[in-house]
Chains A and B, each alone.
Chain A
Amino acid sequence: AQKITQTQPGMFVQEKEAVTLDCTYDTSDQSYGLFWYKQPSSGEMIFLIYQGSYDEQNATEGRYSLNFQKARKSANLVISASQLGDSAMYFCAMREVGMDSSYKLIFGSGTRLLVRP
């Protein structure tokens, strides 16, 4: 079974500094996708960034980048130049494709990020 682990329940970062949110995963599949989502207090889920298992380059989207280390099975999210609006819950997720072609996302437990002014 696939599993996603986020070991940091909460993180603080000073405004304008960079922060890394950790994510490790466990899978025996060769092909998989890794995602990061942001959940503000309003409850919506906002897609941030995607990394495919065969992608050789680390994914980047604006201030977000994904530090993908396949051998270590880690997919850490790096947020550069933190802003107050980055304060939210962050979830790492992996897409699982079942033997019956079923499709679902497995989520980690999340990291709550608080940006200090």
Chain B
Amino acid sequence: SAVISQKPSRDICQRGTSLTIQCQVDSQVTMMFWYRQQPGQSLTLIATANQGSEATYESGFVIDKFPISRPNLTFSTLTVSNMSPEDSSIYLCSVESGQPNTEAFFGQGTRLTVV
């Protein structure tokens, strides 16, 4: 199993500003992911955070809006840039071992409100 520390747990931000969310894992992991959960909705994958290279973004998400860093196998950041109220969501970091029959572990989530 993996223990994930995600910070901040919640924040209220002004529109037009940016917020960086941190995800720290207690062990080296192959795969790290960032998800968005809009109010009352399911989880949608934003991107796969690749160690040492650019993140792989899903359709509808772009690097300029959601820049991601992954400097090593235990840490990643997601920045929500130039925020608008539509960005109000829960953002979740997730890690997987890459083995097909193992579960994904999630951080506690960052509850973001943009005013």
Q: Name A44's contact: one of B33, B41, B104, B106 (CB within 8 Å).
A: B106
- In the complex formed, the residue of A with least CB distance to B90 is A43
Assuming the contacts A43-B108, A44-B108, A91-B43, asked whether A104 and B33 have C-beta atoms less than 8 A apart, the reply is: yes
With the chains together, A45 CA to B35 CA distance in Å? 11
What are the residues of chain A within 8 A of B56 when measuring CB–CB? 102
Question: How many residues on chain B are close to A (CB under 8 Å)?
Answer: 27
Beta-carbon contacts under 8 Å, A30-70 to B: 31, 33, 35, 37, 42-45, 47, 50, 52
Report the number of A-B residue pairs with Cβ-Cβ less than 8 Å.
56
What separation, in Å, do the CA atoms of A35 and B105 have in the docked complex?
A: 12
Q: Is B53 at the interface (CB under 8 A from chain A)?
A: no
CA distance A35 to B102 in the complex (A): 10
* A80 close to B (CB within 8 Å): no
Q: What's the nearest-Cβ distance from chain B to residue A53, in Å? A: 10
Instruction: Tell which of B41, B45, B101 touches A104, judged by Cβ atoms closer than 8 Å.
Output: B45
Q: For the complex, give the distance between the alpha carbons of A104 and B94 in Å.
A: 10
Instruction: Give the contact stretch, choosing among A11-19, A20-28, A107-115.
Output: A107-115
B32 to chain A, nearest CB (A): 11
The answer on a CB contact under 8 Å between B42 and A109 is: yes
Q: Which residues does chain A contribute within 8 Å of B108, judged by CB atoms?
A: 42-44
Give Cα A80–Cα B89 distance, bound, in whole angstroms: 32
Q: Which listed residue (B31, B44, B92, B100) contacts A45, Cβ 8 A?
A: B92
Residues of B close to A108: CB separation below 8 A: 42
List the interface of chain B (C-beta within 8 A of A).
31, 33, 37, 41-45, 48, 56, 58, 90, 92, 94, 96, 98, 100-109, 111
